[in-house]
Chains A and B, each alone.
Chain A
């Protein structure tokens, strides 16, 4: 039985079911606890209930844009500031400028799963070290 107390928890928000499934598989195998939801509203419910260590957010979710959901999440869990990876299919200057303002990583769809794992690993590396030291 896995000891969940030492596992990091990632919230994935993407309305594309296939991407959600793939990320759940990938991140679970890498040792994370993963919650996948398809809407901003569902993400907000989880943010009120559970502690997350990292966010993986689609930029375009039907009910809220990813950058707004990120700010909302930081309001609910301030430690999440800077701990998000945005996924986007948009390559416009405006979208890039918007995401630059968050100071978070971004991956353009279709993304390389290893690059995604590395990006999440960079965010959570410090947390794992703290955990190991503790």
Chain B
């Protein structure tokens, strides 16, 4: 394996910022501390490949002690995996270390620790460039783009997506090249240019749709691009168009987590169109089955909203009390406050309590039937009480 030289150290600012924001000794702080020491060990490994200089005993003790102090669970095991792979590879280039870094980054990513995930992915990229593990670089830049986007670092996200696209195109990986364009389109939407985003997503759908079934992953690309395109329609208040796109995404997604997200968005579109019963059914399924805690709470928050729209004060109050016990993100807290404000306005006035949004009768029946099928399918997996 050829080893390229390059910068081996990094500041790991996201880890330092996360440490500074938490109480020393808390479980989050301990996990951050151990992760930082593990990444610094990787940095040191990168600096000593070929030289054989061993890590200091004190440093090793500190890393092991820090990882041991982390709450037992997947994150601790994956951090331990990074440390073990680094030590097993000491003084030589090693493939296993890259895999361990990516698996650790993926876990952080799924836990919503976007700044930390971006730091791990950047560490992987420095590692991969050094040891010539070029194969996984496009995907790593794609993940980095998403992590940057989620932490609202939009310029960095665009840069990462551009690199992912260029690398993927160079090796003929059409799936990653398309997904990089989808990611960049989402950055444009976040920057306030929905027209540019819509045009970019339409172009991806037009290219990928004809090869669904022939190219692995093309169905997922079409689903993701359609889902993101639907969000633009929702933002613009064009709910009928959004329903068509969301329906297409629901049909194409094979990943349960993404199906749950699109079902949630489809439910909201139906609610916006006045079809409260269809929307409520779908939201109840998402609330009962969603693997992501955030999505479950989001569904509950929207069920509370539907109860307000339907004039069901008792149902509204049940959701309100349950959500009041939860730790809500800023976004959910704003939604909660808005809903409570509206509920007080409506239920506080004796006249308007029974107000229900007018029924929308323009939904093409197959779409409604498809949503009903999806709801039944998901109910079968986890029955809703």
Interface residues of A (CB under 8 A from B): 15-16, 37-39, 41-42, 44-45, 48-49, 62-65, 67-68, 71-72, 74-76, 78, 94, 97-98, 101
Contact = CB atoms under 8 A, between A and B. Distances in A.
Interface residues of B, number: 26
Interface stretch (B158-166, B251-259, B298-306, B309-317): B251-259
A74 B84 CA distance: 14
Nearest to B179: A63
Contacts of B102: 68
A75 B217 contact: no
Nearest to B1: A94
Contacts, number: 66
Contact of A71 (B78, B95, B220, B258): B78
Q: Is the interface of B mostly helix, strand, loop or mixed?
A: helix
B77 A63 contact: no
Contact of A68 (B77, B106, B110, B291): B106
Contacts of A41: 255, 257-258
Contact of B106 (A39, A49, A72, A74): A72
B107 A75 contact: yes
B74 A76 contact: yes
Interface of B: 74-75, 77-78, 81, 95-96, 99-100, 102-103, 106-107, 110, 136, 139, 175, 216-217, 220, 254-258, 291
A15 B77 CA distance: 27
- Listed residue (B75, B95, B139) with the most chain A CB atoms within 10 angstroms of its CB: B95
A45 B175 contact: no
Contacts of B107: 72, 75
A49 B381 CA distance: 12
- Listed residue (A49, A75, A98) with the most chain B CB atoms within 10 angstroms of its CB: A75
A71 B193 CA distance: 39
Given A41-B258, A68-B103, A74 B77 contact: yes
B74 A98 contact: no
Contact of B217 (A63, A65, A68): A63
A97 B95 contact: yes
A30 B1 CA distance: 42
